[in-house]
Chains A and B, each alone.
Chain A
Amino acid sequence: MSIVTPTGGFDVVIVGSGIAGSIVAYQIGKTGKKVLILEGGPPVPKSREEYLQTFFTSNAKTPESPYPPTIQGAVPATDDNPLGQPNPSSLNTPRYTVLQINAWQNPNVSYFVYDAPKQGIAPDSPELTFAFGSSYERVAGGTTWHWLGTSLNNLPNDFQLKTKYGQGVDWPGGVQFYQNLVPYYRKATEVIGVSADKQAMVDLYKTFDVEPSGVYGDNYGFPMPAIVESMNDVLYAQKVTTLKIDNIPLFVTPTPQGRNSRPGNRRQCAGNTNCIPICPIQAKYDGSVTLAQALQTGNVQIQYKTVASNIRLSGDRVSGIDYITYDSQTGPPTGTGTVSAKLYVLAAHAIETPKLLLMSKNNPGWKNGVANSSGQVGRNLMDHVMYLAWGLAKDPIYAFRGPLSTSGIEAARDGAFRSQRAAYRIEIGNEGWNWATNDPNTTLSDFVFGQNNTQLNGDSLNQQNQPLRFDPTLPAFSKLFGTRLVNTLNAIYVRQLRLGYLIEQLPDPDNRVQLSSLRDHLGLPRPAVTYRIREDYVRNAFVSAKQVSTQIFNALGAKEYTQLPGPVQTSGDTATASLFEYKGDRFAFYGAGHIIGTYRMGSNPRDSVLNARQQSWDHSNLYMVGSGVFPSTATANPTLTIAALALQAADNILHDLV
C-alpha cells in the first residue's frame, strides 16, 4: 500500500505505533489533522491466533516469544545457540530479547553489541559493565503487547529527586511538572482503562504526605473497580504489617492495572495468567487498541514494514524522514522514500529512537546526530534493575493463578532513606517460580530425571543455612513417578512465592546507546550499548532488598529459596551478563522491561535533549515521546506515565500546529 499524501500535506509524521505514538496519532487525528505513522514492523494481525500459536509452540516462553521476527528455531540449534536464535544482522527489524542477555558477548546472537568487560576488572568494581536487562518489540501496537499492565502514577518526589534528596536530576520544573501532569494521568487511566481501588491509592499516597486533591484533582475515580486480589496477596497482606523498612511500616496495596475488571469493548479478565507475554483475550490493554481508534478517525495513515532510516534537516528544522521498506524479515529492501510534514514525532521507544537520531548525521552542522547539540542523545540509559526473591509458603496459596501480579508493597517507594539509597517498589508475583527458576518445567525435570536445579531435590542450603530438600524422607536426586510424583509436585507448586524489587537507577551519562559498526539486514547500524550500575546508591538498594525479602519470608513462615548467584566472571566470552559483587555479597539483577532516559527532558539545553514540552531544544518542529523522555526512572512501572506524557505532548503539538 503506498502513501497517499493529502492535499496540503501531512500535519504530523510519527515514527512508531506503540502506545505513545498511537496516543499522539489518535489525539491529533480526531481533530481532523492529517497524520502519517511509519511503523517498522508488520501490521496487527487480524486475530491473536498467529501470535498465540507462536507462543504456545515456543520452547522458551519469554516476553518476546509470540512476536515476529522469530527468535527461536529460526536457525538450526548448535551448542552455543541451543534455541536457534537468528543472527540479528540477517533481519530487517531485529530487536533485543531476554534470550540474548546471556549471549551478550556473541554478536551473532545479541542484537546489542557490547564491549567485553575491562581486562582484569574486579567483580565488585563500579566500572564493571553488564548486559542491559530489558527488551522491546518492533510491531504495530508496540511493546505494550507484552507489558504486565501495572498502571501506577509516579510520586511527586520522583520529579524532584535532586532538590529533595540531592540525588540524580529533577524533571524540568520539579514538582510543578508533576502538578501539570495530574490531569493527564487522569486521562491516561481512561485511555488505558485502569481497574483500581481508589481508596487504597488515597491511603497509600497519604503515607507519602500527598493529599488526594494534590494527586488526583477533583472527583477523581478509576474507570473500573480493582482487580480481585489473589490468595497469595492476602497472605502477604496479613503478615507484612509486622515489618518496617527504614522505619516505614509495610502494607500491601492492590495494583492499579490496565486490565478489565468489568466487560467493555474488550472482555473482562479471566485470569489466563499470561499477561506477559500476551493476553489471549485482550482483557489487558495494549497499544493496538489506541492504534485502531487512530485509524478509525480516517485521518491517520500508517505504513507498515517501513523503517525510518534518516532524519533530514533544513537549517534547524526537520524537513523530512527517509525510510526503507521491506517485505519479509530476511528479504531485501523493497523500496525507499521520504515523507515530510509540518511536525514530526519520534515514538520508536528508547533504543531505536536515539539510534535514529544518531544515524542521522549527514545534516550540515549536525554531525553528532539530529537533536544532539547536548550530546545527551542515547545517554542516561536506565531500567528498573530488579532483585528477585523466591520461596515456598508454609501452606498452599495456589500459585500460577490469576493475572501475573495483582498487588505490591508500595509503601517504601519514597522516604528519608532516599538520600542514601535508591527506592524500590515491591511487586508480588502470582506466578510461582515461573520467572525465578523457569518453572514449572524445572521442578518437573528435577523430580522426573533426578536433578536439582531448583534446590528442592538435593543437599542445597539457603543463605540462612536451612536445608532446602523439599521432602527430607526422600534421598537427594530422587527420581519419582506416579502418585509420589503427583503429590510432590503438587505440594511444591501450590506454595511457590516470588517477590520482585523494581529498584530505581540514577542517570549515568556513560550508560548509553551508540552506533556499532555492525549492521542489520537493511544496512542500518546495530546499537552499541554500554551499561553499568556504578552507584553505591543503587547497589545499596540490592542489599536492602535482600534483607527485606528474608524478613518478609520469615514473617510469612515461608522458606526462602532465593539462590546466591554463581561467581562473577569478568573476562572473555563467558563474562557474566548481570552479576556483581558488592559489600562482600553477590547479586544478580534482572530487567523490568523498562527502557528509560535516552532522550530526556530537562531545564537546560546543554544537558538534555527535550524541553518540558517534549520538544527538541534544537529543532522546534521535532517532538519525542515514550519513556526515553523520562529524566529519572522513579519506582513506578512507566506505562501510565508514558501515556500521560503522550497526551500532554499531543496537546503541545496541537497547540503548535495552529
Chain B
Amino acid sequence: MTPMDTFISLSIGLTGFKRGALAPDDDTHDIKSLYLKTFAERVTQATVDDILLWYRLIDKRVLGNTPDREERVVTVLFADKPEYELPCRKLLFLWYAGAWPTVVDTPASTHGQTFSEVISAESYTQGLVWRVMQSHPMGSTTYNYGYWANPPPPLSAYLENPV
C-alpha cells in the first residue's frame, strides 16, 4: 500500500463515503492529494506517517472484506491510539467542509465551537457535506432548472460517485 492508498482507506473509514467518491479512477480534481498535503502541513508529517503506519498495522489484523472494513479499522485505531482521534477528526472535517478546523473549548455549555479555514475554492466545492445532504455546494451546481421540485438521487449514489 502506498501512503496515498492508506490515506484513502483511512478517509473512507472516517467519512463513510466510498472510494468512488473520494478517489475515483478518473480523478479530474485529485482533491485527495491536496488533502494529504494539507493534513501533513497541519498535524506534521511525522504524525501523518504514524497514523498511516498504525492504520496499516491494524488493517492487517482486522478480518473480513466487508463494506464497513475501513470503519472497523478506524474504530480500533481510535481505541488503540486515542491521541490520533482528534487529528483524524480534523481530517474528517476537512473532507466534509473543504476547510481545516480550529476547535476551541468555549463556550463550555456547548463543549466548545469550531472555526475553519477554507483551503481552496476547489476544496470548498468538493466538500462532502454537500453530498451527504444530497445536494450541491451553495454557489456551484450541475443540476438543471426545476430540480428542486423533485427529490434528489438516493444518498447511496452520493456516497459512491465523484462530482
User: Residues of A with Cβ closer than 8 Å to B?
Assistant: 52-53, 55-59, 61, 82, 228-231, 234, 261, 268-274, 278, 280, 396, 398-403, 406, 430-432, 434, 440-442, 444-445, 448-453, 458, 477, 479, 481-486, 489-490, 493-494
Contact = CB atoms under 8 A, between A and B. Distances in A.
Given A56-B118, A228-B149, A483-B68, 16 more contacts: A59-B118, A270-B143, A274-B139, A280-B139, A398-B134, A399-B133, A400-B133, A402-B148, A440-B129, A445-B93, A445-B101, A449-B89, A451-B111, A481-B88, A482-B70, A482-B74
Secondary structure class of chain B's binding surface, majority of residues: mixed
B147 A52 contact: no
B152 interface: yes
A246 B92 CA distance: 49
Interface in B77-106: 88-89, 92-93, 96-97, 99, 101, 103
A430 B149 CA distance: 11
Contacts of A486: 15-17, 132, 155, 159
A234 B136 CA distance: 21
Nearest to A404: B138
B15 A230 contact: no
* A231, A402, A450, most chain B CB atoms within 10 A: A402
Contacts of B111: 449-452, 458, 477
Interface stretch (B23-31, B54-62, B119-127): B119-127
Contact of B141 (A58, A270, A449, A453): A270
B95 to A, nearest CB: 10
Contact of B113 (A56, A280, A453): A453
Contacts of A441: 97, 99, 114, 116, 129
A440 B131 CA distance: 11
B159 A82 contact: no
A402 B150 CA distance: 10
* A231, A268, A482, most chain B CB atoms within 10 A: A482
The 4 A-B residue pairs with the shortest CB-CB distance in the complex, in nearest-first order: A402-B148, A56-B121, A493-B133, A445-B114
B71 A401 contact: no
Contacts of B48: none
Contacts of B136: 272-273, 401
B104 to A, nearest CB: 10
Contacts of B120: 56-57
Nearest to A406: B148
A261 B145 contact: yes
A371 B13 CA distance: 68
Given A273-B135, A482-B74, A449 B121 contact: no
A398 B152 contact: yes
Given A400-B133, A440-B129, A493-B133, A482 B144 contact: no
Contacts of B64: none
22 contacts: A52-B139, A56-B139, A57-B120, A58-B118, A59-B117, A270-B145, A272-B136, A272-B139, A272-B140, A398-B152, A401-B147, A402-B148, A431-B138, A440-B97, A440-B133, A445-B114, A449-B89, A451-B110, A481-B74, A482-B70, A482-B71, A493-B132
Contacts of B117: 59
Nearest to A269: B145
Interface residues of B, number: 54
Contacts of B155: 486, 490
Nearest to A481: B14
A151 B155 CA distance: 35
Contacts of A479: 89
A483 B92 CA distance: 12
Contacts, number: 180
A82 to B, nearest CB: 7
Contact of B151 (A231, A402, A448): A231
A406 B125 CA distance: 24
Given A56-B125, A57-B118, A453-B113, A481 B133 contact: no
Contacts of B124: 56-57
B60 to A, nearest CB: 20
Given A231-B148, A490-B155, A451 B112 contact: yes
A485 B89 CA distance: 12
A428 to B, nearest CB: 13
B96 A448 contact: yes
* B103, B141, B143, most chain A CB atoms within 10 A: B141
Contacts of B68: 482-483
Contacts of A453: 110, 113
Contacts of A82: 115
A451 B149 contact: no
A570 to B, nearest CB: 20
A428 B130 CA distance: 21
Contacts of A52: 121, 139
Nearest to B107: A453
B130 to A, nearest CB: 7
A398 B114 contact: no
B14 A490 contact: no
B139 A490 contact: no
Contacts of A53: 121
A434 B92 CA distance: 21
B100 to A, nearest CB: 10
A482 B15 contact: yes
Given A401-B152, A441-B116, A485 B16 contact: yes
Contacts of B139: 52, 55-56, 272-274, 278, 280
B149 A490 contact: no
Contacts of A273: 135-136, 138-139, 141
B69 to A, nearest CB: 11
A483 B12 CA distance: 10
A430 B133 contact: no
B134 A59 contact: no
A255 to B, nearest CB: 14
